Each structure stands twice: as C-alpha cells, then as structure tokens.
Amino acid sequence: MRDFPSDPLAAVTHPDPAPYYQQLQATRPLYFDRALQLWVASSASVVEAVLAHPACRVRPTLQPLPAALRDTPLAGVFGRLIRMSDGEYHARLKPALATALAVLPPPSVDDCCAQVLATMPARLDGAALDDWLFAAPLQIMARLLGLPPDADRLALMRDFVAALSPLATAADIARGSTAVTPLLAQFAALPAAASPLHAALASRITPPASLHANALGLLLQTWDASAGLIGNVLYRLAVDTGLREALRQQPGWLDDCIAESQRLDAAIHNTRRYLAADADIAGHALRAGDGVLLLLAAANLDPARHPQPLRFEWQRERQELGFGAATHRCPGSRLALSIARQFVQQCLRRAPDWPALARSHRFRASLNARIRLFADAAAAGSTP
C-alpha cells in the first residue's frame, strides 16, 4: 500500500503527493471531507468551475477577516488586500494592480534581479539557500517598488507573514502586529514617483491606505510563492543530472523547465473558496456558507488536461493552475517567473552541492505552500 498523506492538507508537505492526488481525481473529483468540514475539488474541470463560479468567494460572507486578526493592526491591511476581497472593491482595484505589473519593462526587472543576485555568496550551503529563497525575491520586489535598502525588512516580513498563516499562534500574531506598522511606514514615506512600478500603482490605487496595503501585499505574495517555486525547481535539477546537462547545452530551455516544474511540483498546492449562495457544482449541491478546498497541484496532474501528467516534458501544452485562474489569477505570475529564471541561472553558474540539495525531503510547516528546507537536507545527510 502506498504511503498516502492523511488528508489533502497533509499532502502539501508529503514527500510524494502525486499518486494521492491522482487517486482523488479518479475516484472523488469533488467530495465532502467530514474531518476537515470542507468540500475538496481535485480535477482540473471542477477546480476551474469553482474558481469561475460567481457564488464562490475568497472569504466567508460572515467572516471577511480571520477571527484571530480582529482588533489587531493586521486587520486593516488584510481587509484592504485586493486578493482577499470580492465585489466592487476587487473589481475596481484588481485591474489597476494587474496593469501596473503588466507594464513593467523586462529590462528593469532583469536589472533589479541582477543587482540583488550579484550579492549572493559564491557557494550557498543549505542554510544560506533557505534564507536566499526568501531574501532575494523580497529584495527584488522592494527595489521594483522603490524602497530603499533596509536591514530589518526581512525579519519584519517573516513576522508579518507568520501572523497571517492559519497556523499562527497568539505570539505570532503579536509579533506580526508589531511588524506591520514599520512596514506600512516604509510605503507611506515613499514619493509617488519612487519607481515606475510605484508610480503606476499610486496613480491607480486610492486611497493611500489601500495603496500601502497592496504594495505590502506584493511583498507578501512574493514571499512563500517565490521561495516554493524556486526551491522546487532547484530540487528537480538536483535529482536529475540529465536535466542540468540539457540546460547547459540549451540554456534557452530554462523557461520551459521552470514552467514544467511548477506544473509537476507546484509552489502553492491549494486555495479556498466559500459559497455566498447555494450552488450546484459538478452534480453536487453546495450550500451557502460551505467551504471548498481547491487542490491546484492535483489539477495540474489531471490526465484530462495534461496527458501522461507525471512525465516531465519540455514542450508540452500547459494549462496549469499554480497561479490560480479566473478573476483571482495572480497578476504577478510573469514577474515571479522572471525572478525564478534569474535565480536558477545564478545557481547553475555557481554549481551548488547538487547531491546535498537532492536530499531535501523536508518542508516548512504549511497548509498550502510547498517550501523545501535545504538546510535540513544537508544536516541530515542521506536520511529523509
């Protein structure tokens, strides 16, 4: 019997969740998990149906804010994040955010990446790589937003992100509440023309509180997703010497390598939607107030969407859902892939200890983000 994860949330940090995801697709593309008290969607067609359904919202109707964040400084930021809202606010500001990111010229992104990644150590051990998976994308996004260098920003972001996690403790929330004030102050101090990206955001997103919250939201979205994306690509390269050699021979294939890695081993494994009204989805009657866990990583492995889904193929036609879909598709996907490309290029040039990276069978605790811990792999030797 296969060592399947105990439930869809445990699959996020399971060494090999693909067979489990495929079994769900084949037998239960949409089902109600009594232990989780959530509907679970695993096939590509059902996941897309939920993402596109007008009754499915990003937050429960009666709980626009997580209960643990009420009466904290975090509530004001969370409540203004475009990605955490629906309705008129989202419809008005999401296009503004998407447009600002879309007009970023590739040379400016490449320049920011080059400036930050040039400061990486010549050789990264596991612990240093773990840090850089977060630090580099954060520094790149901060530069694009026009923020000056700040030695405290990385630690502040760690506390802020930890406080927003469903796994956050009271102490995490207290630290995050302390961190959010100086983070917002950094944006409040920026002139409108601090950078082309900030100018584009400032001209489209008002009032200032929404601008500052969603600028901080860009750092937030860069955090887990970029660390997971880059780390999973590096792991795939570590375990496949043929893939590394192919990229040395054909460096132009790197974009396809990253895209296929993201399909096979997504950084964000799931997201949630909540029913604002009764709805019939995939032949099931869902009721207002129900929650749905959307297994994006499973949908990427659906053979109806990607034939021979567990096979790595450079040039396949991809319709992957790792960046979401419909109105809440991540507007920064192009930027995230650009950052990943330059990071991986640097690692290929610097030739890290690939066998050590290949032993990274441990993950940071999370209910939705798959982020490898390379330091643990190096310390543990060959023991999973």
Question: pLDDT tens for residues 233-283?
Answer: 999 999 999 999 999 999 999 999 999 999 999 999 999 999 999 999 999
Given pLDDT bands bounded at 50, 70 and 90, which one contains residue 326? low
Closest CA to 356 of 374, 383, 373: 374
Output the domain CATH number for residue 332: 1.10.630.10
Number of domains in the chain: 1
Q: How many CB atoms are closer than 10 A to CB 276?
A: 19
Please name the amino acid found at residue 67.
A
pLDDT above 90: residue 122: no
Amino acid 66: pLDDT: 95
How far apart are the C-alpha atoms of 289 and 291, rounded to whole Å?
6
Give the chain's length.
384
Closest CA to 219 of 198, 202, 196: 198
Lowest average pLDDT, out of 87-91, 134-138, 266-270, 283-287, goes to: 87-91
Q: Phi and psi dihedrals of 268, rounded to 5? A: -105, 115
Domain encompassing residue 337: 10-380
Does some domain include residue 1?
Answer: no
Does some domain include residue 4?
Answer: no
| For residues 65-78, average pLDDT | 96
Given pLDDT bands bounded at 50, 70 and 90, which one contains residue 328? low
Torsion from C-alpha of 155, 161, 163, 168, nearest 10 degrees: -110
Does some domain include residue 137?
Answer: yes
Contact 43/299 with Cβ under 8 angstroms?
yes
Structure-token pair, residue 192: 């409108």
Q: Which residues contact 14 (CB under 8 A, 6 or more apart)?
A: 4, 5, 20
| For residues 162-168, average pLDDT | 96
Amino acid 162: pLDDT: 97
Does some domain include residue 321?
Answer: yes
Does some domain include residue 3?
Answer: no
Give the tens place of pLDDT for each residue, 342-384.
999 999 988 788 999 999 889 999 999 999 999 965 444 333 3
Amino acid 51: pLDDT: 94
Given pLDDT bands bounded at 50, 70 and 90, which one contains residue 104? confident
Using a 10 angstrom Cβ sphere, with 0-12 exposed, 13-18 middle and 19 or more buried, the burial of residue 118 is: exposed
Peptide bond into 207 cis (omega under 30): yes
% of the chain exceeding 70 in pLDDT = 96
Please name the amino acid found at residue 239.
V
Does some domain include residue 5?
Answer: no
How far apart are the C-alpha atoms of 200 and 97, rounded to whole Å?
8
Does some domain include residue 376?
Answer: yes
Does some domain include residue 200?
Answer: yes
Q: Which residues contact 378 (CB under 8 A, 6 or more apart)?
A: 125, 126, 127, 353, 356, 359
Look-up of token digits 């997504």: 266
| For residues 67-90, average pLDDT | 94
How far apart are the C-alpha atoms of 99 and 96, rounded to whole Å?
5
Amino acid 380: pLDDT: 42
| For residues 309-319, average pLDDT | 90
Amino acid 202: pLDDT: 95
Give the tens place of pLDDT for each residue, 188-230.
999 999 999 999 999 999 999 999 999 999 999 999 999 999 9
pLDDT above 90: residue 43: yes
